[in-house]
Structure 1
Amino acid sequence: MNELVERLSAEGQSVAVGGPSPSAAEFQRRLTEMGYVFVKFPGTNGGTDLGVRVDEAATDLGKADFANATGSVHVEGTLTLNYVPVRCVADIDVASLSGTGNLVVLEEPTTRPATL
């Protein structure tokens, strides 16, 4: 397995809302309107900011109050990291825009693209 994917698969990793200008309002907009959020794993060298396609059925916004920047959000979604399909699972506090999360490997790639 890819070293970065393996490292980010360990449960209880620190995560934060990533992207160009994280805020509670922008986080809500990305979750509800765009269906695409940035989740940053700051524990890597320089931090790893991942773009995640939100799985609406697995994401829970019921405990969040975005207008008052309180509560928490459970976010799940998919992406491909270093040719490995993964699911990002994170619990994020709306006030601090940080929390814990990890990646779950969906399947190992059978072949890697040829390098030039």
Structure 2
Amino acid sequence: MDRLVERLSAEGQDIAVGGPAPSVEEFHHRLTELKYVFLKFTGTRGGTDLGVRIDDATDLGTADFTTATGNVHVEGTLTLNFQPVRCIADIDLTTLTGTGHLTPVG
């Protein structure tokens, strides 16, 4: 297993909404329209910004994007260092931060 994948597979990694201009509005647009979000694992040197193609396991049920409150459960897939992985994260809309981890696929 790739060392970075192995490191990010430990549960409870600090994560922030990533991308060029992280905001609640942009995060909502990416979740609902594009189905593709940027999440940054902040515990690595310089951070590791990943693009995640979200799927039906993502849950917006407790999120209120109008008041920027609640939580979003994000799940989706990507390839990191040639290894397919699943990203699982819980993001607090108030701070656009949370925790999560990667799970190797296959």
TM over 0.5: yes
Report deviation, 1:21: 0.4
Map 1:40-51 → 2, pairs under 5 A:
40-51=40-51
Q: Which runs of 5+ in 1 are unaligned?
A: 108-116
1:9 matched to 2:25: no
CA distance in 2, matches of 1:80, 1:100: 20
4+ residue segments displaced more than 6 Å: none
Quote the residue 1:114 is aligned against.
Answer: none
1:24 matched to 2:33: no
Q: Which amino acid aligns with 1:10?
A: A
| Superposition TM-score, scaled by structure 1 size | 0.90
Report deviation, 1:101: 0.2
Cα-Cα RMSD: 0.4
1:30 aligned counterpart, secondary structure: helix
Q: Which has the larger radius of gyration?
A: 1
Report deviation, 1:59: 0.5
Quote the residue 2:101 is aligned against.
Answer: 102
**Aligned residue-pair number:** 106
Report deviation, 1:66: 0.5
Quote the residue 1:52 is aligned against.
Answer: 52
CA distance in 2, matches of 1:58, 1:21: 25
Quote the residue 1:112 is aligned against.
Answer: none
1:70 aligned counterpart, secondary structure: coil
2:19 aligned counterpart, secondary structure: coil
1:64 aligned counterpart, secondary structure: coil
Q: Which amino acid aligns with 1:79?
A: L
Quote the residue 2:74 is aligned against.
Answer: 75
Q: Which runs of 5+ in 2 are unaligned?
A: none
CA distance in 2, matches of 1:66, 1:95: 9
Q: Which amino acid aligns with 1:87?
A: R
Q: Which amino acid aligns with 1:14?
A: D
Give percent identity, aligned residues only: 70
